A = this chain, B = another copy of it.
Amino acid sequence: MGKQTWHYSNVNVISYSSVVGEMESKGPLASDFDERYEDQYMGQDSWEKAERFLLERSIDIAIKKANLAKTDIDVFLAGDLLNQNISAGFAARTLSQPYLGIYGACSTSMEGLSLASAIVEGGFGKYALAATCSHNATAERQYRYPTEYGGQKPVTAQCTVTGAGSIIVGATPTDIAVTYSTIGKIQDLGVKNPFDMGSAMAPAAAHTIATHLRDTGRSPDDYDLIMTGDLASVGHPIAKELLKQEGIALSNQFLDSGLLIYDLKNQEAFAGGSGCGCCATVTYGHVLKKMAAGKLNKVLIVATGALLSPVSYMQGESIPCIAHAVAIERKVNP
């Protein structure tokens, strides 16, 4: 086992949840999400509070589905895209359980699941909750132009998902286990365009997938699904090509959550979805529901993050990118 890959022998998926906004509610995965909100404010008086509301809803649903109480959660790991992680911090105040803030941009979902799994495997807690969220309007305001300005975007841009996803892992046996994490190293090939983050992040996804397969001795075909999140229509083919150049052939099982969440022919999502909430809602909505239904047995989720800021961009820096992969497996009766 290479040093980037962590193995878990007793980490189980206890429950999971996903809640989304309007555009995601009109996309092809709509029926997979636990709650759908058509109002961008979700009844709150600011977009930031709406984002927090989504995160808190997903946390509550995951805890309820697990038949647990809030006090059963031994540790809560969360992060988001807002400066100083305020969605996560305020949700942690509401949850009122031990909290560790994380930041991995759009890789946050699998960073959180990796650390939650390590905490459970290490015996530091019985139940660990990992969650993340994003909101289109808070991201637009913070990272790009004031929303009212209606700035135009190139087709390589991605559309920040409005949504939140949570997962609870624990030592209690269930039908689905978390088996491996491969922790990413930063890849930065010099891309500086924040409107083409798929291209920037593709090498990180390819590097982590190749490392995971080498470390575990697995081949791509050992997985029913290898899903990146979120490279979208520009970055996903680049990652596939980079892996091909390393002799790793990916077929139809290689998908991307940014491509799954919207109907790119009929929805204005540019190259596809992005944001912490994209990989989280697709994994903790769509993918795990398919696993529970026996339609997927072994999946590798590869969450990619672009670790830039508006300041680093304006100072002429390129975009450091990272990807963390987590293997989730259905226990098949012998």
Q: Which A positions have Cβ atoms within 8 angstroms of B?
A: 3-4, 6, 46, 48-49, 74-75, 79, 81-86, 89-90, 92-93, 96-105, 111, 114-115, 118-119, 121-126, 142, 183-186, 188, 307-312, 315, 317, 320, 322
**A103–B84 touching, CB < 8 Å:** yes
**B185–A96 touching, CB < 8 Å:** yes
**Cβ-defined partner of A79 (8 Å) among B103, B317, B322:** B103
Known: A102-B102, A103-B102, A315-B48. Contact between A186 and B89, CB under 8 A? yes
**A74–B3 touching, CB < 8 Å:** yes
**Cβ-defined partner of A185 (8 Å) among B49, B81, B99, B183:** B99
Which 8 A/B pairs are nearest by Cβ-Cβ distance? A122-B122, A89-B307, A84-B309, A98-B183, A93-B186, A101-B103, A93-B320, A83-B83
User: Which residues of B lie under 8 Å from residue A99 when comparing CB positions?
Assistant: 183-186, 322
Cβ of A186 to closest chain B Cβ, rounded Å: 4
What's the Cα separation between A113 and B115 when bound, in Å? 14
Given A49-B315, A89-B186, list of 15 further CB < 8 A pairs? A3-B74, A6-B124, A83-B83, A83-B309, A86-B312, A93-B186, A96-B185, A96-B186, A98-B185, A100-B104, A100-B111, A101-B104, A101-B111, A102-B102, A118-B124
